[in-house]
Amino acid sequence: MHDVFVELKNITKYFPGVVALRDVTFSAKRGMVHGLVGENGAGKSTLIKILTGVHQPDKGEIFVNGKKVKIGGPSDSKNLGIGCVYQELNLCPDLSITDNLFLNAYEEKGLFLNYKEMHERSERIMADLGQRIDPRTKCGELGLGVQQAVEIGKSVLTNSRLLIMDEPTSSLSEAEVSQLYSVIKRLKKQGVSIIFISHKLEEVYQCCDDVTVMRDGQLICTKPVSAVTKEQLVSYMVGRSLDTMYPKSVTKKRNIMLSVKNLSSPGILFDVNFEAYGGQVLGFFGLVGAGRTETMRAIFGVDNNKTGDIYIGNNKTTINSPRDAISNNIAFLTEDRKKEGLILGASVVDNLSLVTIDRDKKGLFLDKAAIHKRSKKNVETFRIKTSSLNAPVGTLSGGNQQKVVIAKWVNTNADIYIFDEPTRGIDIGAKTEVYNVINDLVKEGKCVVIVSSELPEIIGISDRVIVMRHGRIMADIDRQSSHFNQEDIMKAAWGGKIQ
């Protein structure tokens, strides 16, 4: 038996316009939990997808049990004993737990499926994972914790020797997290190797043996967890000190520009009250499902099953559609740039005038010359790197795409900018540029609201942080307050009271 279960040697992977992985060498040992940390876009997901056969490496070799292998697709990976629990759970909501567990690993008796046996086994597997539940229940009716257990169950069932977990705790409650830890311990005892990807360093210290840091597609270092401090890990991840990462300029707080009173939506939001000021960055932090995005969507008129009042300046305003919001000078930069923010196949110039298209008219027709002139100016002010104004936006890097989205909204002369996860999936250098753009907006006296799941980012760029949990506001902390730190904000996000 080999001590190392899987080994990647000198793996390189190219995507159009980026090197996603550069010469990465990585190994996972039997019965060990291997932490994998790094900022968004560091290459963790690509690495995982190479192990699970979703992507094939352009260069490099993979060894399993000391034998060189080729992982051509998900079924190859499965046959090699590699299982993965993705961050976005992959279940069929209308099928039962049993059906999901045994997907493509069915127990058959002759021609037919042996449901009796399968139900019994899935009940046992789920019980081992700490979930006592009828295996006939449809997965769509389960909470996220149980759904995740079903995903882990899939790997248990196929007897995976390597289990990859991609941010497994991101949507779990505290009780569910400790349950997950005990499951990990049990699997470890059985000699299963585990790769544990996390954004939360505390978790890495709690359950990992080794930790590997990745940055910009490169492997920075692999060390035993006991031999490295949290501060060291952070500096490895970021590659520079936090001060240069988050260029925070101090601006003067001005008048109230947006106030939300008793905003509620059945089952989702409960009496949300807050004010946002001009010249200030207001950060919204919370765990997944805390209701931050839902709050912003309600303000922007996307979700209309709501009660409560919204004031723009001092005026009570009715916002029932994004159109209403835009005409009240609100801009909303959505979480999913590619799906909701840009038309990837269309040119930079077309995307830049997407929101203003109704105003860019001269008589019946579009004023092409004016649009072109403004777009050119946009590209200069926001330092958008593009080969030409007519290049499809999809060919730009993530950071430049995000700048196009911001410029598009700036063109509407909006006063209130709501950013939902503004730096998701863009590399570190580009992040800083996005922060600079945000700083510029604030300097002009605009009101900026930012929703982010990355605590260092929220702390780095906000003047004030509101913490939400389960659709309620838990805390409202000013940058000057002594509570303006990672520990207290996290505590509030978990439902704890800050004294």
Partner 1 sequence: MIWNQAFLSEGKTIKRTRVLTKAGPLLAFVLICIALEIVTGGRFLTTSNIANILRQVPIIALMAIGMLCVILLGGIDLSAGSLLAIGLCTSGVVRKFYLTNDSLISGIILLTICVVVSTVFGFINGILLTKLRLPHPFIATLGSKFVCRGLALLITGSATISGFPNSATTIGTYNLFGAIPLSFILTISLYIVMHIFLSNVATGRKIYAFGGNREAAKYAGINTDKVQILCYSLSGLFCGIAGIVYLGRLNSAVPLATQDGDMDAIASCIIGGASFLGGKGNVWGTLVGAFMIQVIRNGCTLLKLSTDLQQIVIGIIIIVAVYIDVLRNEMDNKRKLLAVAKANKVEDANIN
Give residues in contact with partner 1 (CB under 8 A): 52, 54, 73-75, 78-79, 84, 86, 90-95, 99-100, 103-106, 108, 111-113, 115, 130-131, 133, 141-146, 154, 173-176, 179, 266-268, 270, 469-471, 494-497
Closest to partner 1 by CB, 158 or 436: 158
Q: How far is the CB of 175 from partner 1 (least distance, A)?
A: 6
Q: How far is the CB of 54 from partner 1 (least distance, A)?
A: 8
Closest to partner 1 by CB, 255 or 304: 304
Closest to partner 1 by CB, 145 or 279: 145
Closest to partner 1 by CB, 18 or 103: 103
Closest to partner 1 by CB, 31 or 130: 130
Q: How far is the CB of 117 from partner 1 (least distance, A)?
A: 13
Q: How far is the CB of 75 from partner 1 (least distance, A)?
A: 3
Q: How far is the CB of 7 from partner 1 (least distance, A)?
A: 23
Q: How far is the CB of 427 from partner 1 (least distance, A)?
A: 26
The 3-state secondary structure of the chain, one letter per residue: CCCEEEEEEEEEEEECCEEEEEEEEEEEECCCEEEEECCCCCCHHHHHHHHCCCCCCCEEEEEECCEEECCCCHHHHHHCCEEEECCCCCCCCCCEHHHHHCCCCCCEECCEECHHHHHHHHHHHHHHCCCCCCCCCEHHHCCHHHHHHHHHHHHHHCCCCEEEEECCCCCCCHHHHHHHHHHHHHHHHCCCEEEEECCCHHHHHHHCCEEEEEECCEEEEEEEHHHCCHHHHHHHHHCCCHHHHCCCCCCCCCCEEEEEEEEEECCCEEEEEEEEECCEEEEEECCCCCCHHHHHHHHCCCCCCCEEEEEECCEEECCCCHHHHHHCCEEEECCCHHHHHCCCCCEHHHHHCCCCCCCCEECCEECHHHHHHHHHHHHHHCCCCCCCCCCEHHHCCHHHHHHHHHHHHHCCCCCEEEEECCCCCCCHHHHHHHHHHHHHHHHCCCEEEEECCCHHHHHHHCCEEEEEECCEEEEEEECCCCCCCHHHHHHHHCCCCCC
Closest to partner 1 by CB, 113 or 256: 113
Q: How far is the CB of 331 from partner 1 (least distance, A)?
A: 28
Closest to partner 1 by CB, 271 or 444: 271
